């Protein structure tokens, strides 16, 4: 198939591009690098079935002269430090960006898949969250630039399906980790791996008994590709329901990198991320999908990816493509 991926230089978009190329498809990647990384484009630059267009999909979609079979809309800042730095761009890529991608799919009579998020559930008062749960989101708080943009993106996707008969899919992506994560995304896995690779103590906020559920990126991509090939227009959760405490994450990462490192505790910040856990009953029955990668294995592969990135950065002559942009705040 000919597939256009918006956000192809992002963490998830680039893994999706890898998988689609491996599966024999042709991919047109689009990114404006607001939060995507040039290294994730360079990665595919010599691939004969990959083309890249640097463009802001909120302003318009690149003209593609060949036919398109699928449009996958993954473009958006996704981590709190990024979307809070770019609130208006985040709102726009959810609204104008999604609509431009839907219109492109409509012109090409292509299928369309929206990358939505567990953030549409907000601060849930139902655990775990099934797709039928309507969520608990503050429509005008500081996170609303992301949460409401994604809820709007779902609404307009369903409107194009209902009104124009477009063949659409919506995946609600829960917390995901793996190689190629941005090093400044502020999330717990990234922070711990960075600290441990730098030989520093790992910082746990509070007593570390708060839990998180994270899926390894390969599991997510497997779920997305399965969803692409079934006809189901309502949202589908893809996430890992296994919960670990933050302290367990710290301990596993420390043990994989350097068991002699300390784990230190700091006071809990006010805006600690909200706790969510996917109900994946639908994905199991509809896609015969469930996560397969264990936390230990996923973290080992993530650490290996981060190590490789550090080597690339150190060996880069910085005259041509920069392999990665580092903005690590405070954690060295």
Q: Enumerate the active-site residues.
A: 146
8 Å CB contact between 221 and 292: no
Nearest CA to 216 out of 240, 245, 189 is that of: 240
Query: In terms of CB distance, is 120 or 250 closer to a copy of itself?
Result: 120
Instruction: List the one residue from 134, 272, 297, 326 that touches a copy of itself (CB under 8 A).
Output: 134
Instruction: List the one residue from 157, 176, 191, 251 that touches a copy of itself (CB under 8 A).
Output: 157
Rounded-to-integer distance, Cα 273 and Cα 115, Å? 20
| Cross-strand bridge partners of residue 4 | 28, 71
Half-sphere exposure of 172 (CA within 13 A, CB side): 28
Q: How many CB atoms within 10 Å of residue 270? A: 5
Nearest CA to 44 out of 32, 29, 34, 33 is that of: 29
Query: In terms of CB distance, is 155 or 268 closer to a copy of itself?
Result: 155
Rounded-to-integer distance, Cα 256 and Cα 265, Å? 20
As measured in angstroms, the least distance from the Cβ of 74 to a copy of itself is 18
Query: In terms of CB distance, is 94 or 223 closer to a copy of itself?
Result: 94
Instruction: List the one residue from 44, 52, 70, 160 that touches a copy of itself (CB under 8 A).
Output: 160
Q: Stretches 3-11, 45-53, 133-141, 266-274: which one binds a copy of itself (CB under 8 A)?
A: 133-141
Q: Which of residues 104-123 bind a copy of itself (CB under 8 A)?
A: 120, 122
Note whether 6 binds a copy of itself by CB under 8 A.
Answer: no
Cα-trace Rg, the chain = 19
Note whether 96 binds a copy of itself by CB under 8 A.
Answer: yes
As measured in angstroms, the least distance from the Cβ of 240 to a copy of itself is 23
Q: Which residue is listed with tokens 């006071």?
A: 267
Nearest CA to 239 out of 288, 274, 280 is that of: 280
Q: Which of residues 285-304 bind a copy of itself (CB under 8 A)?
A: none
Question: How many chain residues interact with a copy of itself (CB under 8 A)?
Answer: 38
Q: How many CB atoms within 10 Å of residue 46? A: 7
Q: Stretches 65-73, 136-144, 174-182, 279-287: which one binds a copy of itself (CB under 8 A)?
A: 136-144
Note whether 1 binds a copy of itself by CB under 8 A.
Answer: no
Note whether 135 binds a copy of itself by CB under 8 A.
Answer: yes
Q: Stretches 29-37, 144-152, 180-188, 253-261: which one binds a copy of itself (CB under 8 A)?
A: 144-152
Instruction: List the one residue from 144, 210, 225, 245 that touches a copy of itself (CB under 8 A).
Output: 144
Note whether 151 binds a copy of itself by CB under 8 A.
Answer: yes
Binding mask 222-251 for a copy of itself (x = CB under 8 A): ------------xx----------------
Rounded-to-integer distance, Cα 189 and Cα 11, Å? 14
Q: What 3-state DSSP class applies to 103? A: helix
Q: Which of residues 58-87 bind a copy of itself (CB under 8 A)?
A: 87
Q: Between the CA of residue 203 and those of 151, 176, 226, 295, what are the distances in Å?
A: 33, 20, 37, 19
Nearest CA to 305 out of 180, 182, 195 is that of: 180
Give the binding site for a copy of itself (CB under 8 A).
87-88, 91-92, 94-96, 99, 120, 122, 134-142, 144-145, 147-149, 151-152, 154-160, 162-163, 170, 234-235
């Amino acid at each position: 198939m000919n597939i256009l991926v918006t956000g192809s230089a992002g963490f998830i978009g680039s893994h999706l591009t890898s998988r689609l190329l491996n599966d024999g498809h042709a991919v047109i990647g689009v990114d404006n690098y607001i939060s995507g990384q040039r290294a994730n484009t360079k990665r595919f630059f010599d691939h004969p079935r990959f083309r890249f267009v640097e463009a802001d999909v909120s302003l318009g979609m690149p003209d593609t002269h060949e036919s398109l079979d699928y449009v996958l809309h993954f473009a958006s800042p996704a981590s709190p430090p990024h979307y809070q730095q770019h609130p208006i761009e985040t709102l726009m890529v959810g609204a104008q960006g999604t609509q431009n991608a839907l219109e492109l799919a409509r012109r090409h009579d292509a299928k369309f898949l929206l990358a939505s998020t567990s953030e549409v559930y907000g601060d849930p008062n139902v655990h775990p969250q099934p797709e039928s749960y309507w969520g608990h989101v503050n429509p005008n708080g500081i996170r609303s630039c992301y949460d409401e943009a994604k809820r709007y993106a779902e609404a307009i996707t369903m409107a194009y399906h209902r009104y124009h008969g477009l063949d659409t899919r919506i995946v609600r992506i829960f917390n995901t980790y793996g190689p190629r994560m941005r090093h400044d995304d502020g999330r717990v896995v990234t922070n711990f791996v960075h600290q441990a690779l730098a030989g520093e103590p790992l910082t746990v906020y509070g007593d570390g008994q708060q839990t998180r559920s994270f899926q390894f990126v390969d599991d997510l991509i497997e779920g997305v590709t399965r969803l692409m090939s079934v006809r189901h227009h309502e949202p589908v959760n893809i996430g890992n329901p296994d919960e670990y405490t933050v302290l367990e994450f710290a301990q596993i990462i420390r043990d994989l990198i350097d068991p002699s490192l300390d784990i230190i505790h700091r006071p809990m910040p006010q805006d600690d991320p909200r706790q969510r856990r996917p109900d994946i009953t639908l994905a199991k029955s509809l896609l015969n999908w469930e996560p397969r990668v264990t936390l230990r294995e996923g973290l080992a592969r993530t650490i290996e990816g981060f190590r490789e990135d550090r080597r690339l950065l150190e060996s880069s002559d910085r005259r041509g493509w920069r392999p990665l942009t580092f903005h690590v705040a405070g954690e060295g």
